[in-house]
Structures are given as C-alpha cells and as structure tokens.
A and B are shown apart, each in its own frame.
Chain A
Amino acid sequence: MSTNSKAVVRKGLSDNDKGRLQLTLLRILVYAILIFLSVLCLFSFYLMIVNASRSNAQLQAGFRLLPQEHFLDNLRNAWTDASINIPRGMLNSLIVAASSAVLTTYFSALTAYGVHVYEFKGKKLVFTFIMAIMMIPSQVSAVGFVQMMNKLHLNNSYIPLIIPAIAAPIVFFYMKQYMESVLPLEIVEAARVDGSNEFRTFNTIILPIMKPAIAVQAIFSFVSSWNNYFIPALLIDKAELKTVPIMIAQLRSADYSKFDLGKVYMFILLAILPVLLVYIILSKSIIKGVTSGSVKG
C-alpha cells in the first residue's frame, strides 16, 4: 500500500478516495471475469457428473441438465466390473504418469542447465537441434516407434511409456526459458567458490530454485501421460498392465448387452480425480517454491 500512502502525502485525500474507488471497481471487474470463466470451466465438469449419474437408457434418451439417480449404481458397476479392473488400471496409470513426470522434469532441467550454464563447443547447435526436433509432428513417428518397440520385445512393458520422457524437447525448452528469466548465474559461481561440485550444485541449489517450473511441467506431463491412449493401446494388451484410457476405450467398444454409457462417464469422472489431486498438490508447490526458494539477483 506504499503507493497510496505516498499519494496521500502528495495530493491529498480526494485522490486517495479515487484510488480506492478505482481499486474496488477493478476488483469487482476482476472477480466478475474470474467467476464467468469458472462457470464456463465448471459447466463441462458438471455435465460429466450429471452424465455419470444417469443410466445407459437415460443417456441414450438425450440431454438433461439435472443429475439423475444412478450415480451410485454406475459407481458400483464401474468399480466392480468383472473384466475391467479399474483400481488396477488407476494404479498402472499412476506408475506410468508419475515416473514420466519425474523423469521428464528432472532430465529436462538437467539438460537445460547443461545448455544454459556451460560454454562448450556445439552448444548453439545443441539448442537449435532440440528446437528443431520439437517441431516434428509426433503422429507418424508414433507408428514407427510402436513397430520398433515390438521388434525389441518391449511391448507389454512400461519402458517405452516411461523412458522416452527423458528426452522431452518441449519441457527442455521451458526449463531453458525459465532459467533465462530467473536463474542468476552468480548462484552457480557462489556454489563453486563454496566447493560444491557441479552435480551437487544442480541437485541441491538449482533444483529448489526451479521448483515452480518443475511443478508446472510435472503437472502437464502427468496429465498428458495419464490421458495418453494411442501409444499405450498399441503396446499393451495384457489385462494386468492396461492403463485407464485403454480401459475406457474397451468399455466403449463393449457389445450391446454390456455397453453402458453411464459406466463410461463414471469411469471418465473417476479418471479425472487422481489428476485433480496431483494438480492441487503440485500447484501449491508452485507458490511455495517461489516464496521459499527464490533468490534475488
């Protein structure tokens, strides 16, 4: 509030009132925008819940704005489906998504740090190269990737779903840009003077500073890995290894006697909850990271 007090001294009370009024109006406007957007976002979410509370027949019958009475039935049906083990699928997805998120953020930060802090021959080339591969569309190489993994007998294994996360050009780019905007090189210098080795400097000093960036990218990669269907579906066919999106697809291609759209919506809803939880946890650390680890430079 230092601006206000200064203004009071310089220009008198009327300006102070004006400033307050402006701020209040601005706040009203800001809250109005936020609430409007929230409603827009929550609406689709609300619809998911409504749909998850309706039986297959009710869903076929068309749209409804209010929930119906089958929420618990759907939950029970989804959770105890004999052929599709949802709790297992969630555990599988959790393993894959969490591992990818950890690997992708750690190694991208490491790579970005390597390019950002050190001067070495070919550094420019490395940066340009990673930028270039970032722009290659993933769809076609996906098919080649699947064929290669089959040849290496890595189908029905999580390795092709997790390890490639180490080389994520987009996450690298983000880390690099983040370092450019917030990481003062003096810190590295100071650590060197203190006798810290480079690897330890990275792990104990740089990573904490990067916490907000890591949290952000961890969320994104967790979510995209969690929702990934195409590649996992082509690599995994052992029931005990299937991830959530494969199971949802399987529910959707069920035959008419077992097809249950209510169950599908319920499963989609269930699938969102863990991601939401991860998001809430990580988004806290975006804020924490800034207040505790940030260094003035």
Chain B
Amino acid sequence: MKKLIALVLAAVMMLGAVACAAKPAASNEAEKPAEQGKVFNIYAWNEEFKGFFEKYYKVPEGVTVNWIINPSDNGVYQQKLDEALKNQASAAADDKIDMFLAEADYIGKYVESDYTMDVASFGFQNAPTQYEYTIKAASDNGVCKGVSFQCCPSALIYRKSIAKDVLGTDVPEEVQAKLDSWEKFEAVAAEAKAKGYYMTASFAETFRVFSNNCTSPWVVDGKLHFDDQINAWIDQTEKFVQNGYTLTDGVWGEEKAAQMFADGKTMCFFGPAWYFNFCMGNAIDPEKGCAGDWNITMGPQAHFWGGTWLLAATGSDNTEMLKDIFETFTSNEEVCEKLVVNEAQYPNNTKVVEKFANDPTYGNTTILGGQNDIAEFSKLAGSIKWENHTNYDQLLNEGLQTALQEYFKGAVDKDTALNNFYKYVNETYPAIVTP
C-alpha cells in the first residue's frame, strides 16, 4: 500500500510539474487580439520578401502582420507549413495562415491543393503586364492562386575576352548568332577546347536550359518518363565530358566558382539577374576578379531559374489585404521601379521592364561593364515556358544530376548511375513506378 502511495505521489508530482510548466505556453496564445481580420500571418523561409514588404507596402491601420519564418534547411520550412495548413480549418481566425511563400521548385504542390484559393474569389485580376509563365506557375487548371513579385529569366553569361579569342567577337548580338542553337553551341565548344578553354565549368550547367523546355512531364501514367530534352542533355553532357569541353563540378561547386576569376578558362555560365550578386563574387574580386569582362545574351534556349511566389491561403480572413498586396507587387509601377533600382530585382511588370530596357542611362556596371541587362533579359522573359511541370520536378532534377555526376566523374558506369537514380526516386516518391 505504502509502495503504491509513494508511486502515485511521485506520479502526481511529475504530472504537476509538467502541467505547471505547460501553462505559460498556453497563455501566450490567448494573448493574441481576438478581433477578426486584424492579424495577417505570413509563412516564409527567409527575410527577402519581408524586407520588400516592410519598405513598399503600407499595412492597413490596426492590422498586425506576423511573420513565421522557418529555415529551409532539412525541409523544415515545408514541414512546418504543411503541418499548419493541415490545421488551418480548425485554427482560430487570427491563427490562420493568410499568405505563404513558395519557390518555383515546389509551387505546384501547393497550387494543386485546396489549401490555396482562387485569387478571383477576392476580386484580384491578373494584369496583362504580368509575365505569362508566372501566372501559369500559380494556376491549377486555369484557376490562379497567387502571384510572383519577380520574373527570373536566365541568360548565357560569357567572358568577353574568351569569346573574342574563340569567336572573334564579344558583341552580344554577334555572339548570340554563333550560339543560338545547341549544334552551334557544341561546335563552338570544340573550338574553345582547341584554344585551351572550357565551354562550361559544371556538368550540369546546361541542365536547366534543357529541362525548362521539356515537351512532356517527368511522370506519365504514374511512370517515370525521360523527356527528349532530358535525354538530349545527357547525350550532350556525355560528349562534353568525354571531349573535355566541360569540368565535372556541380552547379554550386567551388571548382566551378574558381573559373570566374581572371585566370579562369571557362567561357559560358548560365544564370538570371540574382546570379551576379549571389554566385559571381569571384568575378568582381578586386584582386583576382575580372569585372566588366562579362556580357549576357540569350543563348540556345530561353529558360528561367528560381523565383518566389505569394500564395493566398484558403481560410484567410484578410482577403482585402491579400488583394492589395498582390496588386502592389505586380501593378504598382512605382513599387516595381523601386524593386529594380533599390533591390536589383527583375519585376513582374512588362511596362516597368520596357521603361528600363529602353533607358540608355541604365546599365549594369558592377559586372557587365554597363550592358543593359534588363534589355537583354527582357528579350528572353517573354518566351519562358511553364509547361509539363509536375510536383516532383525539383527532386527528380536534383536526383538525376547527382546520380549522373558519379558517372560523368568516372566513378560508376551509366547503368549503375541510373539505377541509383531509380532507387532515389523510389525512396522519395513511392508512388512513381520506375523502370
């Protein structure tokens, strides 16, 4: 009996301790204002858009904006977002997510779900100045669920001095004429090699250019399917690696980045506007860099890279504000211009883009020696396609590249590499049937 009492006592003490400690957490939540529509909750994985939002959007009086920011490391952002979306229906009005951010790589997962709502339901109309593909990306069977505040056309970035040596010219139009198809690209690669240069520094440098132009999705009738463009990329890369036209580093690799120094031997890189700041630090290195020795042009095929979308969450009680935010970052020309001038963004507004493209005083001086990059990018932006996308794209693209990198490096044969890719698909997406 005594034993029992002691046990029960100990148990009660323990539970008491847990319960007491649990209280503050519970009361925290109760502190939030109870009034409807006065709290606007935004889920994001970093502070980029938060910065623009705070600078360029005027929050209506009396509304509190809550930023719930979770890092994307280890998939934490999506995991927490998914959890919150699942509880959205039962959450108190002020705890409901109103808007969340998604990247091009996984936007489909949310757009196709019922957790996002039709922007027309709260009276938002996509403007004709928005780029077609940004609308398509946020639409499920024609029903649009959000907008992007940016457009990310990606161009061929070439070293002028190497182009001059290999092609005899470094003028964008002339370079473009010599590189506007993959056949020409390959022929030039051979010439570059003959002169001791590399065409590209990563085996996957051109992957995005091909994959953005696929004519069929990754999955057909539940089965893994290799599009012709994907096969073309594999064939081309095989040839490039065998002939020594390219280095075998990854897209984000150090070895590749080192090629952007003045003593680098690589002629071509592919990237959008954000690539200059984010990935080309070596090129503008004051000692070893070669700022100004770069220009951009379209390259063999139009493509894009990255981009962030704002999606309207089903159940939001701040629909007026959602509409307002979407309009501010797509149609408000003043804001879009500031995005260009102050934030080095390429805005999702063709009118503003036109203005900068035709402005002879505008140019990128940090890296492109004054070339008007917006003018160059704008030639591409219109022909970007958003077709044949699936929810699986991001990880299938990554998985294929990492598996094949071993093959290109000579560590395994092609069959083994593809076999490892199928294993990865099987672990990541059990629903997809692999060969």
Residues of A within 8 A of B (CB): 56-58, 60-63, 83, 150, 152-154, 156-157, 159, 163, 229-230, 233-234, 237, 239, 246, 249-250, 252-259
Contacts and interface: CB of A to CB of B under 8 A. Distances in A.
Contacts of A57: 281-282, 284-285
21 contacts: A60-B257, A62-B254, A83-B47, A153-B26, A154-B22, A154-B25, A156-B25, A157-B21, A159-B21, A159-B25, A163-B18, A229-B73, A229-B74, A233-B70, A233-B71, A234-B80, A237-B68, A237-B80, A249-B74, A253-B71, A259-B278
A249 B281 contact: no
Interface in B229-274: 254, 257-258, 261, 274
Nearest to A250: B71
A249 B22 contact: no
Contacts of B257: 60-62
4 closest Cβ contacts across the A-B interface? A255-B48, A256-B278, A157-B25, A249-B71
Contacts of A157: 21-22, 24-25
Interface string B333-375: 0000000000110000000000000000000000000000000
A61 B285 contact: yes
Interface string B270-291: 0000100111011011001000
Nearest to A83: B47
Contact of B46 (A61, A62, A237, A255): A255
A61 B281 contact: yes
A257 B285 CA distance: 17
A250 B44 CA distance: 11
B395 interface: no
Interface of B: 18, 21-22, 24-26, 28-29, 45-48, 50-51, 68-74, 76-77, 79-80, 83, 254, 257-258, 261, 274, 277-279, 281-282, 284-285, 288, 343-344
Contacts of A246: 71
A126 to B, nearest CB: 14
Given A60-B281, A62-B257, A250-B46, A256 B25 contact: no
Contacts of B70: 233, 237, 250
Contacts, number: 97
A101 to B, nearest CB: 17
A57 to B, nearest CB: 4
Contacts of A253: 45-46, 71-73, 77
Contacts of B21: 157, 159, 163
Contacts of A156: 25, 28
B48 A150 contact: no
Contact of B76 (A60, A150, A234): A234
Contact of A258 (B29, B48, B80, B281): B48
B277 A256 contact: yes
The listed residue with most A CB atoms (<10 A of its CB), out of B71, B80, B279, B284, is B71
Contacts of B71: 233, 246, 249-250, 252-253
A261 to B, nearest CB: 10
A20 B261 CA distance: 59
A258 B47 contact: yes
A257 B48 contact: yes
B68 to A, nearest CB: 5
A234 to B, nearest CB: 6
A233 B76 contact: yes
Nearest to A157: B25
A62 B259 CA distance: 11
Contacts of A56: 281
A60 to B, nearest CB: 4
A258 B285 CA distance: 18
Given A234-B79, A254-B48, 14 more contacts: A57-B285, A60-B279, A60-B281, A83-B50, A156-B25, A229-B74, A234-B80, A249-B76, A253-B45, A253-B72, A253-B73, A254-B47, A256-B274, A258-B51
A57 B68 CA distance: 29
A230 B70 CA distance: 12
A292 to B, nearest CB: 32
A140 to B, nearest CB: 14
